[in-house]
Amino acid sequence: MPPEIAGETTSGINPTSPTGVGTWWDQLLDGLSRVTSSGRYVPIIDGFRFVAIVAVMLFHANESLVVSRPELETPARQTLLFHVLKVGNVGVPLFFAISGFILALPFLESFKKQKPFSVGKYFLRRLTRLEPPYILNLLLVTLLLIVVKREALSELAAPLFASLGYVHNLVYGEMSRINCVAWSLEIEVQFYILMPVMAWVILRLPTSARRMALVGIMLACVLAKMFLIPQQGGSEVVQRVKMSLLYYFDHFLVGILLADVYFTDWISQPKSALHWDAIAAVAWGMIVVSQWRLWSQHLLVLPMFVAYYASFRSHFIRQALSLKWVTVLGGMCYTLYLYHFFVISLVNKFTIPRLAGFSYGPSLAIEFGLILPTSVIVAAVLFRLVELPCMKWRPFQSSTASRSSSSPIHSKSVPELNV
């Protein structure tokens, strides 16, 4: 995997006390810092993850409230806040672009420096890093469905195995019955499988040809979604296409193109300037606005690329997204993503009956005030117990190399890429 990125390793590190011992807050964050497989770390990437996971959580919390209390939908739709929160599902494409960025960098460096790249280790790392938390989540949720909702194992077995094999979208043409958020993880896996092939075909090309190919494929994807695939409805085949990599491939390409710029043009050291803060702020706003019209939703790739690009080059936004507590929460996004929907359901079970008579605004504030911290606490415990050990698990490395790469990412001695 690639060596460290100069100038990208200390942003977001909170200082310790003069005695060398951090505060309880610093120690807590250090204990929840992610561990990755290579020798580089870009804090703002976890900042981007933070934006994406918060957007998804707020989206689901808002949707759950309105669905649970239908009388709130009409007054809610009259507020700007509702329409902003409705855009929160854009967090999933934001995650897709981040995946494209992270997975493209090692291939770009390998081809640039003519270094060998082990595809076997590439897949084994994803297997050991992602599968145990995912499998545990599906089994726990299945158990809850049987015990709490009294659903029969015979009816859950097929969807469970389909979800475990990342083929639920393809087989059923709908979100997983076990964990609805698993639909996007199936698309991620499809991209993981395709990435080595794509890297060999496209990323080996000269810079200009490579970028023309990426932009050309991206444009073709956008046009296909706008003019060939029905905006609403469609056959069962169309529904399955809409839940596959084919439909979201352009979002991954955003990340790959950004990785190309980051590695080739910026030499992994983007220079910041204040005017990029303004551009980034406008671009993030355009991401929201683009989702308010059906036709413009497919143009998401443009403001998304500009938002990521400008944020890398910005000063204040980059600093904010590199704060340690932000990067720690962003680093826990996988666990947060897997479990937040069930926290929402649990909180709603107790709050919805007691919110009768409350208007949309106060109800939403109470829901957010309970759901967000509860989700973080649950995710922090599970991250520490399950996901973090998987990050440290290196079955393909020697014991010495494994120990040297298993320290928290915020250690200056082991700066790492967020994979």
Residue-by-residue DSSP string for 40-73: ---HHHHHHHHHHHHHHHHHHHHHHHHHH-GGGH
3-state SS class at 284: helix
**C-alpha closest to that of 322 among 33, 26, 46:** 46
Q: Quick one: DSSP state of residue 285?
A: H
* 233 phi and psi angles, rounded to 5 deg: 70, -145
Average pLDDT over the chain, rounded to whole?
89
At 135, the amino acid letter reads I
Q: Could you please report the per-residue DSSP string of 157-199? A: HHHHHHHHTT-HHHHHSS--SS-TTHHHHHHHHHHHHHHHHHI
Mean pLDDT of 93-104: 97
Q: What is the pLDDT of residue 418?
A: 57
Q: What is the pLDDT of residues 394-415, one digit of tens each?
A: 776 655 444 444 444 433 322 3
- C-alpha distance from residue 253 to each of 195, 305, 328, 361 (Å): 11, 10, 26, 38
CA 204 to chain centroid? 26
| Range picked from 32-36, 39-43, 181-185, 387-391 for highest mean pLDDT | 181-185
| More confidently predicted of 385 and 294 | 385
Whether 134 contacts 85, CB under 8 Å: no
How big is the chain by its Cα radius of gyration, in Å? Answer: 21
pLDDT in tens, 348-377: 999 999 999 999 999 999 999 999 999 999
Residue 107 has pLDDT above 90, yes or no: yes
Q: CA 6 to CA 415: how far, in whole Å?
A: 9
- Residue 3 is given by DSSP the state -
Task: Give pLDDT, residue 402.
Answer: 47
- Output phi, psi for 315, to 5 deg: -105, -65
Collapsed DSSP state (helix, strand, coil) of residue 150: coil
Query: Using one digit for the tens of pLDDT, what is the confidence trace for 121-163?
Result: 999 989 999 999 999 999 999 999 999 999 999 999 999 999 9
pLDDT band at 231 (very low <50, low <70, confident <90, very high): confident
pLDDT in tens, 306-350: 999 999 999 999 999 999 999 999 999 999 999 999 999 999 999
pLDDT band for position 393 (cuts 50, 70, 90)? confident
Under the banding of pLDDT at 50, 70 and 90, the label for residue 73 is very high
Lowest mean pLDDT among 29-33, 45-49, 61-65, 72-76: 29-33
* Dist. CA 286–CA 84, nearest whole Å: 11
pLDDT, position 419: 57
Q: What is the pLDDT of residue 409?
A: 40
- What pLDDT digit, counting tens, does each position of 180-219 carry? 999 999 999 999 999 999 999 999 999 999 999 999 999 9
Q: How far apart are CA 361 and CA 86, in angstroms?
A: 15
- Cα–Cα distance measured from residue 273 to residue 288, given in angstroms and rounded to the nearest whole number: 24
Decide if pLDDT at 417 tops 60: no
Residue with tokens 């979208």: 169
- Cα–Cα distance between 1 and 331 in angstroms, integer? 19
- Please say if the pLDDT value at position 8 is more than 80: no
Nearest C-alpha neighbor of 102 from the set 301, 318, 300, 331: 331
Contacts of residue 41, defined as CB under 8 A and 6 or more positions apart, other chains included, come to 4, 5, 8, 9, 409, 410, 415, 416, 417, 418
pLDDT recorded at residue 38: 57
Q: Give the separation between CA 4 and CA 278, rounded to whole angstroms.
A: 29
Evaluate whether 416 touches 19 at the Cβ level (below 8 Å).
Answer: no
Half-sphere exposure of 301 (CA within 13 A, CB side): 25
Give the separation between CA 374 and CA 258, rounded to whole angstroms.
34
d(CA 168, CA 160): 8
Across the range 2-31, mean pLDDT stands at 55
pLDDT of residue 227: 92
- The residue among 418, 416, 395 whose CA lies nearest residue 405 is 416
Q: What is the pLDDT of residue 36?
A: 64
- Rounded to an integer, the average pLDDT of 239-249 is 96
